[in-house]
Amino acid sequence: MSEIKFIENGSVTSVPGFKASGITCGLKKSGNPDMALVFAEKPANFAGVFTSCVFAAAPVRVCQKKVRSSAAAQAFIINSGNANACTGTSGLANAEKMCALTAAGLNIAPESVLVASTGRIGVQMPMDIIEKGIKLAVSGLAADGGNQAAQAIMTTDTVPKAAAVSVEINGKTVTIGAICKGVGMIDPHMTVAPHATMICCITTDVKCDNALLEKLLADNADNSFNRITVDGDMSTNDSCVIFANGDSGVTLEENSAAADIFKAALLALMQNLARKQVMDGEGATKFVAVEVDGAPDTESAKRLAEAVANSLLCKTAWFGCDPNWGRIVAALGYAGVKFDPDKVDVFYDDKIVVSKGGDAGTPEKDLAQILQNREFTVKVHLNQGKGEYWVWTSDVSYEYVKINAEYHT
């Protein structure tokens, strides 16, 4: 397998043929940047995965339609500060108008523009502000504007999130770049089109038809963004899209070695960004990997891992560096999976906490020392099958409550 190399200060514009901008249009009272635009200089193949929330926001619904009706895409307009969710027919019209305004500014077809929004739910878009912002975003496009775009899509994020990788395929260099946001209202379950927010834009220079691009993206989403949780709350606006302009000269075919190499590089990029989201989780002081193995099957392992990762009692114990393993086994017990509790072992990193369903006798001070680390792993061995699953999560701190108690007001 070819070596995957991360590019210093990488972003969506690390890929040749893409430009981006990040500007302030006035949606945020803070005056911080609040609109981003990513532009492919020529029509690109594209795909997307989106929230499975029934209350999917207007921009999500617009994009879901376009990934089925448009052969190519060229632009992605993203605003922060207003989610355009639960806004009815007016919200849909405004999402479509954002695409049309962007298309007019770029002199491209509205069908080739995708849209995403993040921010407060239930508030109509101030389209006068949006229109001025789109004009600024178009005029601000630059070949090195990716990191500015990453900053402009932030909401409660404390740092912008961007990355890029390169990998050699068939003797040629392929580049994949991305920007993303999301540190709260994070528990994505993004699916392919028939079905505070996670938003991601990915660019690449491979040539790949839309169907294969969607499969690669969806498979990798299941092993990256769909494996993270900050607070167990799925957003109305989760969106992840990928553009492929073909400039590298590398063509991907299904079930080919080239596609396998590209998929591995794409996964490395998406997992890097997913990790950054959890590390920057609202008020988070811990990054916790929850790993379950020996379950009856994969679905059982998933339910068990997610029960622990989303348990408020577990998450607050981790914040307090309290190795209260009773909370872990309780979460396992109510996950809705049938198993023999007397066969279960639990570890914090390499220290055993629970042995055969009971206290392993490890001194609490040794366990508490592990929980004082910025990162640690909760390992659950059911010893009752071959099912396994992992989830990345964070703790819940006083700051998380403060951020979300004050978000609306």
Q: What is the DSSP string of 46-68?
A: EEEEEE--TT--HHHHHHHHHHH
- Which residues neighbour 184 within 8 Å (Cβ) at sequence distance 6 or greater? 155, 156, 196, 230, 231, 233, 281, 282, 400, 403, 404
The boundaries of the domain holding residue 257 are: 5-279
Report the distance separating Cα 267 and Cα 328, nearest Å: 29
Amino acid 296: pLDDT? 97
**pLDDT, mean over the chain:** 93
* Percent over 90 (pLDDT), the chain: 85
Amino acid 187: pLDDT? 52
Same domain assignment for residues 231 and 314 = no
pLDDT, tens digit, 9 for 90 and up, residues 100-135? 999 999 999 999 999 999 988 999 999 999 999 999
Q: 0.85 exceeded by the pTM?
A: yes
Q: Is the pLDDT of residue 21 over 70?
A: yes
Same domain assignment for residues 382 and 314 = yes
Number of Cβ atoms within 10 Å of the Cβ of 333: 14
CB 144 within 8 A of CB 13: yes
Amino acid 118: pLDDT? 92
Same domain assignment for residues 371 and 239 = no
Same domain assignment for residues 53 and 147 = yes
Same domain assignment for residues 272 and 294 = no
Q: What is the DSSP string of 133-172?
A: HHHHHHHT-BTT-HHHHHHHT-SS-SS-EEEEEEEEETTE
Q: Is 125 helix (H, G, I), strand (E, B) or coil?
A: coil
SS (H, E, C) 172-217: EEEEEEEEEECCCCCCCCEEECCCCCCEEEEEECCECCHHHHHHHH
Amino acid 245: pLDDT? 98
Report the distance separating Cα 213 and Cα 244, nearest Å: 8
Same domain assignment for residues 301 and 251 = no
Catalytic residue chosen out of the listed positions 13, 51, 156, 197: 197
Q: Which of 217, 252, 279 marks a domain boundary? A: 279
Same domain assignment for residues 30 and 168 = yes
CATH number, residue 262: 3.60.70.12
pLDDT, tens digit, 9 for 90 and up, residues 231-272? 766 678 889 999 999 999 999 999 999 999 999 999 999 999
The mean pLDDT value for 58-87 works out to 96
Residue 110: alpha-carbon gap to chain centroid: 26
Q: Is 24 tagged catalytic?
A: no
Q: Which amino acid is at 352?
A: I
Q: Which of 237, 262, 279 marks a domain boundary? A: 279
Same domain assignment for residues 320 and 242 = no
Q: Is the pLDDT of residue 2 over 90?
A: no
CB 91 within 8 A of CB 127: no
Amino acid 409: pLDDT? 37
pLDDT band at 191 (very low <50, low <70, confident <90, very high): low
Same domain assignment for residues 247 and 329 = no
Same domain assignment for residues 58 and 24 = yes
The two beta strands, 172-181 and 351-355, are: unpaired
Inter-axis angle of helices 312-319 and 325-333, nearest 10: 160
Structurally, how many domains does the chain consist of?
2
The mean pLDDT value for 74-83 works out to 96
Same domain assignment for residues 206 and 331 = no
Amino acid 186: pLDDT? 47
Q: Is the pLDDT of residue 196 over 90?
A: no
The more confident residue out of 189 and 296 is 296
Same domain assignment for residues 16 and 138 = yes
Report the distance separating Cα 361 and Cα 208, nearest Å: 55
| CB burial string 226-261: b at 16+ within 10 A, e below | bbbbbbbebbbbbbbbbbbbbbbebebeeeeebbeb
Question: Tokens representing 376?
Answer: 């640690």
pLDDT band at 193 (very low <50, low <70, confident <90, very high): very low
Nearest to 21 by CA among 196, 181, 153, 165: 153
Report the distance separating Cα 64 and Cα 75, nearest Å: 15
Q: Is the pLDDT of residue 407 over 60?
A: no
Q: What residues are paired with 34 via a beta bridge?
A: none
Report the distance separating Cα 202 and Cα 225, nearest Å: 13
Angle at 201 between CA 219 and CA 129, to 5 degrees: 145
CATH number, residue 362: 3.10.20.340
Q: Which of 227, 248, 279 marks a domain boundary? A: 279
